[in-house]
A = this chain, B = another copy of it.
Amino acid sequence: MVKVAILGFGVVGSGVAEVIRRNEEVITARAGVGMEVKYILDLRDFPDSPYADKMVKDFSVIEQDPEVDVVVETIGGAKAALEFTRRALKAGKSVVSSNKELVAQHGYELLCLARENKVSYRFEASVGGGIPVLHPLSQCLAANRLTEVRGILNGTTNYILTHMIGTGLSFEEALKEAQERGYAEHDPSADIEGIDACRKTCILAAIAFGRHVYPSQVSTEGITKVTLADVSYADAAGMRVKLLGRAIRQDDGKVMAYVAPHLVRHSDPLADVDDVFNAIIVRGNAIGDVMFYGRGAGKLPTASAVVADVIDAFQHQRTRRFLSWDEGSEAYVVGPEGLCSQWFLRLRGTVRDLEGLGPVTILGRPGAPADEIGVITEAMTHDELSKRLNGTAPLSAMRVLDESADLA
């Protein structure tokens, strides 16, 4: 019997308990043994919960119980979660987490700690919710030299952008709708400012390229400045606006990582990923491009990824098979400054004001004011763009995603 302790009885934590109960039969078949929730740690009281007799408030009860095989950390944040994860690993318990903030900031340390204590630290649910992507990245693609990971990593912002495009809502209106439907938090800043996508980009980059990338190293731009006008121009050009996280392995061994809204061509498979769905494209030198697609969040999808990790951690208890990556360094990560892209620009002015920009494609949109113009430039770096703009501040500027060499 695998005995599990769940830290935090919120959406994901209660989902984990529910999946373990509902899918008892299939889990037992796959794990080879049954699985039981022995403790649930939460500071709140849940007197009416069916798990009331399992609730504890003191982590040392879990830490000191040798029967607990796996600790599931769904607290979030990097304070109590960090402390309890460290203590659990040191106590010889494997830890499974859905906490992207913690992994993105402290993944290297915690993986080392797991290895020292001969246990597992796993976090499939931290990226892409229920979509299996970290396992395939680290295992199934082991024979490839990976060159890029890119994706739609945040369901909330994708929902907002999809509804701006589909129903002509402003950013604020679409955000309000997402909040009413429970897809956006009361304080949505981690989503709309790109912070969540940034953390996931760090985790993907670390697994794909083998070295820690810290959120502070990743140039991050959210979607708060994306206007309905931008979305309309994109639509008229047969493109969609998508918030993408990208990590590209450069020839010099460094990694270019950034998060920003992009215009994506309709022929690109990322263009059709709508609503709260996520999609991650992995590029390898043998495999070409592979895409993983599904619900990027949600109670049960995320919980099912956690439970799969629990099974995996338990099955690997007696083997020496550790996920790991190297320590990060300041010089290892670079921003997208050197990246040549076509640019979408929305400018105040007329065609006459475009002279210094070089060849452009002029876009139209219904109801555009006479003194507004939308264009797509040729490919250039951001520096070159600034030079050609020669002091003019565009109303909007977004990269156009370069055509996928393979999938598009």
Contacts and interface: CB of A to CB of B under 8 A. Distances in A.
Interface of A: 19-20, 22-23, 25-27, 29-31, 124, 130-132, 135-136, 138-145, 210, 269, 272, 277, 284-295, 298, 300-301, 303-308, 310-312, 315-316, 318-319, 321, 406-407
Point out which of A30, A136, A140 has the most chain B C-beta atoms below 10 A from its C-beta. Answer: A140
Given A130-B288, A144-B304, A291-B293, 13 more contacts: A19-B143, A22-B145, A22-B285, A26-B143, A140-B308, A142-B307, A143-B304, A269-B272, A288-B295, A290-B292, A291-B292, A294-B407, A315-B319
Contacts of A290: 130-132, 292-295
A23 to B, nearest CB: 5
Contacts of A27: 142-143
Contact of A210 (B29, B144, B272): B29
Contact of A287 (B144, B277, B286, B301): B301
Contact of A130 (B20, B131, B286): B286
A288 B278 CA distance: 13
Contacts of A25: 145
Nearest to A273: B269
A315 B308 contact: no
Contacts of A295: 287-290, 406
Contact of A143 (B136, B285, B287, B308): B308
Contact of A304 (B20, B284, B303): B284
A304 B141 contact: yes
A54 B272 CA distance: 48
Contact of A294 (B132, B288, B307): B288
Contact of A140 (B23, B132, B298): B132
A339 B321 CA distance: 45
6 contacts: A132-B140, A132-B290, A135-B136, A141-B304, A141-B308, A316-B319
A4 to B, nearest CB: 12
Contacts of A312: 139, 142
Point out which of A19, A124, A269, A306 has the most chain B C-beta atoms below 10 A from its C-beta. Answer: A269
B142 A124 contact: no
A136 B291 CA distance: 13
Closest 10 CB pairs of A and B: A132-B140, A143-B307, A286-B304, A290-B294, A30-B142, A132-B136, A130-B287, A291-B293, A286-B300, A143-B304
Contact of A26 (B140, B144, B291): B144
A308 B139 contact: yes
Contacts of A130: 286-288, 290
B303 A286 contact: yes
Contacts of A288: 130, 294-295, 298, 300-301
A140 B293 contact: no
A17 B321 CA distance: 25
